[in-house]
A = this chain, B = another copy of it.
Amino acid sequence: MSIRIGIAGYGNLGRGIECAVKQNPDMELKAVFTRRDPASVSILTAGVPVYPMEKAAEMENEIDVLILCGGSATDLPVQTPALAAHFNVVDSFDTHAKIPEHFEAVDAAAKAAGKVAVISAGWDPGMFSLNRLYANAILPDGKDYTFWGKGVSQGHSDAIRRIEGVKDARQYTIPVESALEAVRAGKNPELTTREKHTRLCYVVAEEGADLARIENEIKTMPNYFSDYDTTVHFISQEELNRDHAGLPHGGFVIRSGKTGWDKENSHVIEYSLKLDSNPQFTASVIVACARAAARMQQEGQTGCKTMFDIPPAYLSPKSGEELRRTLL
In contact, A134 and B127 (Cβ under 8 angstroms): yes
Is A315 touching B259 in the complex (CB atoms < 8 A)?
A: no
Binary flags per residue of A264-280, CB closer than 8 Å to B gives 1, else 0: 01111111111111001
**Binary per-residue interface labels of chain A (96-135) against chain B in the complex, 1 for a CB within 8 Å, 0 otherwise:** 1001100100000000000000001000010101111110
Given contacts A308-B311, A311-B309, A312-B130, contact A324 B273 (CB under 8 A): no
Return chain B residues, CB-CB under 8 Å to A193: none
The answer to whether A266 touches B276 (Cβ under 8 A) is yes
Q: A313-B133, A324-B99 are in contact. Are A272 and B270 (CB under 8 A)?
A: yes
Given A270-B272, A308-B324, A324-B100, A259:B20 Cβ within 8 A: yes
Report the separation of the CA atoms of residues A133 and B96 in the bound assembly, to the nearest whole angstrom. Answer: 26
A48 smallest CB distance to B (angstroms): 13
1/0 per residue, CB under 8 A from B, across A178-189: the answer is 000000101000
- Majority secondary structure of chain A interface residues (helix, strand, loop or mixed): helix
Q: Chain B residues with Cβ under 8 A from A291's Cβ? A: 137
Within 8 A of B (CB), among A258-313: 259-261, 265-277, 280-281, 283-285, 288, 291, 306-313
A5→B171 CA distance, assembly (Å): 51
Chain B min CB distance to A120 (Å): 6
Contact check, B288 vs A138: say whether CB atoms are below 8 A apart: yes
A323 within 8 A of B: yes
Interface string of A133-166 (1 = CB under 8 A from B): 1101111110000000000000000000000000
* Assembly CA distance A320 to B304 (angstroms): 11
Chain B residues near A311 (CB-CB < 8 A): 308-311
A129-B327, A270-B271 known; A315+B20 contact, CB < 8 A? no
Contact between chains at A265 and B285 (CB < 8 Å) = no
How far is A139 from B123 in the complex, measured between Cα atoms in Å? 13
Flag if A138 contacts B261 (CB, 8 Å): no
> Once the chains bind, are A274 and B267 in contact (CB under 8 Å)?
yes
Tally A residues with Cβ within 8 Å of B: 70
Asked if A233 CB lies within 8 Å of chain B CBs, one says no
Q: Is A16 an interface residue (CB 8 A)?
A: yes
Contact A328 B44 (CB under 8 A): no
Q: Is A213 part of the contact surface with B, judged by Cβ < 8 Å?
A: no
Can you list 28 A-B pairs with a CB-CB distance of less than 8 A? Answer: A19-B259, A22-B261, A99-B325, A100-B321, A127-B134, A130-B312, A133-B312, A133-B316, A133-B323, A134-B312, A138-B284, A138-B315, A259-B281, A259-B283, A259-B284, A260-B277, A260-B280, A267-B277, A268-B274, A271-B271, A306-B328, A307-B312, A308-B312, A308-B320, A308-B323, A308-B328, A310-B312, A311-B311
Q: Which 6 A-B pairs have the closest CB atoms?
A: A265-B276, A137-B315, A308-B313, A259-B280, A265-B277, A268-B274
Which residues of A does B touch, CB under 8 Å?
Answer: 16, 18-20, 22-24, 44, 96, 99-100, 103, 120, 125, 127, 129-134, 136-141, 184, 186, 259-261, 265-277, 280-281, 283-285, 288, 291, 306-313, 315-317, 320-321, 323-325, 327-328
